[in-house]
């Protein structure tokens, strides 16, 4: 048995947070029906040329069935409404107002299915002065205050891929919101609307690290000067002899003491971090001396030598990996964060594993990503459509 087995989710999302959200829910057992628009003739040919091999590795589309549906047509909307009547959850990623124009908005769907949980994921939310602005991850983390805090003090901000707003904030917030609404529905019998703003979710990530201190002191944190951004020798990145890097994270005094004793510099022990040093740097000439010493010291052994030595002495140390190293690491392999799934034509295909480990109802990759529209016939037949009617709908461009 899977934790979310029996739940049906309609996924009308395309990029970043939406597919990531529904991938997690699908891994945990929900049936995901991914709905996309019928392609143009050129796009259809390009899809065929891409082939199943490329599609098989698109992990955010695993455990999902695919139907291509023209929601701008009356017949397309009718099919969507039939699907929505039987669904538990709808996840959509249109700009505010688009679903209303298409006739698939929450108010319309809740009249068809009062128990529906309807989650909208947008950059700025369904209201406010920015609600209609276009954007992507870097826009949301800039307005949310995260981007200005990432990087070195004397350089411009560093773009952290699209890991913060799309995945760490928005996608995860949508998962939490949907699961919370499902629990609430179990108590009230009613569905509800979930308004996920990527910008809101980005700001939420700042709660403990920055905002607690800023609201208390009024001091605006600066890039590269926060205790968790490399301002202190205790929590930083260091280059090793082989040009690779290690991370040291001795925030607690006893962990700092472990490091100092192991490197034979007990005189550094009194200069551990204390609450009074947070959140911004305190002028301390000794810390400058310690930082300089550590930079030179870590150049005397390779990255892996330092890890082997210090990890045995209860010192928080990490190896800065490239992706090929990540998926060869014994801890990552032991935790099954890289898995192989059998594909009907491509053989064994590697995928990122399932991070949420449930003891009794563990998640599972039940199916690899399908070609766009691969399940259109299957889904329509389950709704009662005949093969003849399906053929006519395809000829009219309603489905693909």
Q: What is the 3-state secondary structure (H, E, C) of the chain?
A: CCCCCCCEEEEECCCCHHHHHHHHHHHCCCEEEEEECCCCHHHHHHHHHHHHHHHHCCHHHCCEEEEEECCCCHHHHHHHHHHHHHCCEEEECCCCCHHHHHCCCHHHHHHHCCCCEEEEEECCCCCCCCCCCCCCHHHHHHHCCCHHHCCCCCCCCCCCCCHHHHHHHHHHHHHHHHHHHHHHHHHHCCCCEEEEEHHHHHHHHCHHHHHHHHHHHCCCCCCCCCCCCCCCCCEEEEECCCCCEEEEECCCHHHHHHHHHHCCCHHHHHHCCCHHHCCCCCCCHHHHHHHHHHHHHHHHCCHHHHHHHHHHHCCCEEECCCHHHHCCCHHHHHCCCEEEEEECCCEEEEEECCCCCCCCCCCCCCCCCCCCCCCHHHHHHHCCCCHHHHHHHHHCCCEC
Contacts (Cβ under 8 Å, ≥6 apart) of 154 = 224
193-207, 208-222, 278-292: which has the minimum mean pLDDT?
Answer: 278-292
To the nearest 10 degrees (0 to 180), the angle between helices 198-205 and 172-188 is 100
Contact assessment for residue 87 and residue 10, using Cβ atoms and an 8 Å cutoff: yes
Overall average pLDDT of the 27-32 stretch: 98
Q: Is the pLDDT of residue 45 over 70?
A: no
Confidence of residue 279 (pLDDT cuts 50, 70, 90): low
Residue 280: its pLDDT value, please? Answer: 58
Q: Which of 166, 195, 200, 324 is catalytic?
A: 166
Q: How many Å apart are CA 142 and CA 199, to the nearest integer?
A: 9
Q: Is the pLDDT of residue 48 over 60?
A: no
Residue 13: its pLDDT value, please? Answer: 97
Overall average pLDDT of the 260-272 stretch: 96
113-127, 228-242, 265-279: which has the minimum mean pLDDT?
Answer: 265-279
Residue 9: its pLDDT value, please? Answer: 98
Contacts (Cβ under 8 Å, ≥6 apart) of 141 = 147, 160, 164, 165, 202
Overall average pLDDT of the 125-150 stretch: 97
User: To 5 degrees, how large is the angle CA 70–CA 71–CA 72?
Assistant: 90
19-28, 46-55, 156-165: which has the minimum mean pLDDT?
Answer: 46-55
Residue 43: its pLDDT value, please? Answer: 47
Mean pLDDT computed over every residue of the chain? 93
Residue 52: its pLDDT value, please? Answer: 65
Residue of higher predicted confidence among 149 and 44: 149
Residue 123: its pLDDT value, please? Answer: 98
Residue 73: its pLDDT value, please? Answer: 97
Per-residue pLDDT of 55-111, as tens digits, reads 888 999 999 999 999 999 999 999 999 999 999 999 999 999 999 999 999 999 999
Q: Where are the domains of the chain?
A: 8-205+354-395
Q: Is the pLDDT of residue 24 over 70?
A: yes
How would you class 225 by CB atoms within 10 Å of its CB: exposed for 0-12, middle for 13-18, buried for 19 or more? middle
Percent of the chain predicted with pLDDT > 70: 94
Residue of higher predicted confidence among 14 and 345: 14
Q: How many Å apart are CA 167 and CA 21, to the nearest integer?
A: 8
Residue 46: its pLDDT value, please? Answer: 46
Would you call 166 a catalytic residue per the annotation? Answer: yes
Per-residue pLDDT of 379-395, as tens digits, reads 999 999 999 999 999 99
Q: What is the pTM of this model?
A: 0.94
Confidence of residue 39 (pLDDT cuts 50, 70, 90): confident
Fold of 8-205+354-395: Rossmann fold (3.40.50)
């Amino acid at each position: 048995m899977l934790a979310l087995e029996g739940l049906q989710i309609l996924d009308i999302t395309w990029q970043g947070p939406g597919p990531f959200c529904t991938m997690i829910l699908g891994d945990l057992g929900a049936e995901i029906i991914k709905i996309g628009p019928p392609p143009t003739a050129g796009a259809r040919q390009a899809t065929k040329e891409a082939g199943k091999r490329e599609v098989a590795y698109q992990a955010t589309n695993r455990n999902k069935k695919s139907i291509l549906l023209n929601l701008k047509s009356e017949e397309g909307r009718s099919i969507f409404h039939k699907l929505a009547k039987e669904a538990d959850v709808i996840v959509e990623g249109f700009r505010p107002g688009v679903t209303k124009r298409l006739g698939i908005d929450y108010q319309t769907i809740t009249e068809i299915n009062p128990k529906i949980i309807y989650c909208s994921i947008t950059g700025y939310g369904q209201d406010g002065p920015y609600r209609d602005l276009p954007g992507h991850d870097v826009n949301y983390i800039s307005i949310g205050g995260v981007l200005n805090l990432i990087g070195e003090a004397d350089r411009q901000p560093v773009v952290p891929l699209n890991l913060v707003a799309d995945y760490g904030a928005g996608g995860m917030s949508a998962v939490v919101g949907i699961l919370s609404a499902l629990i609430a529905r179990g108590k009230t019998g009613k569905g509800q609307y979930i308004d996920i703003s990527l910008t809101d979710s980005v700001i939420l990530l700042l709660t403990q690290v920055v905002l607690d201190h800023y609201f208390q002191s009024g001091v605006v944190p600066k890039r590269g000067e926060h205790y968790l951004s490399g301002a202190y020798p205790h929590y930083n990145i260091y280059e090793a002899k082989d040009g690779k890097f290690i991370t040291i994270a001795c925030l607690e005094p006893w962990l700092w003491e472990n490091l100092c004793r192991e490197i034979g510099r007990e005189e550094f022990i009194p200069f551990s971090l204390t609450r009074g040093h947070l959140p911004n740097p305190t002028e301390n000439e000794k810390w400058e001396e310690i930082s300089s010493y550590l930079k030179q010291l870590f150049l005397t052994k390779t990255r892996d030598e330092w890890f082997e030595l210090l990890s045995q002495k209860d010192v928080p140390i990490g190896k800065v990996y490239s992706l090929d190293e990540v998926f060869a690491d014994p801890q990552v392999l032991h935790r099954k964060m890289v898995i192989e799934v059998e594909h009907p034509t491509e053989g064994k295909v590697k995928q990122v594993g399932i991070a949420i480990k449930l003891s009794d109802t563990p998640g599972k990759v039940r199916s690899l990503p399908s070609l766009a529209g691969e399940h259109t016939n299957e889904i329509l037949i389950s709704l009662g459509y005949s093969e003849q009617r399906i053929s006519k709908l395809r000829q009219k461009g309603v489905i693909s």
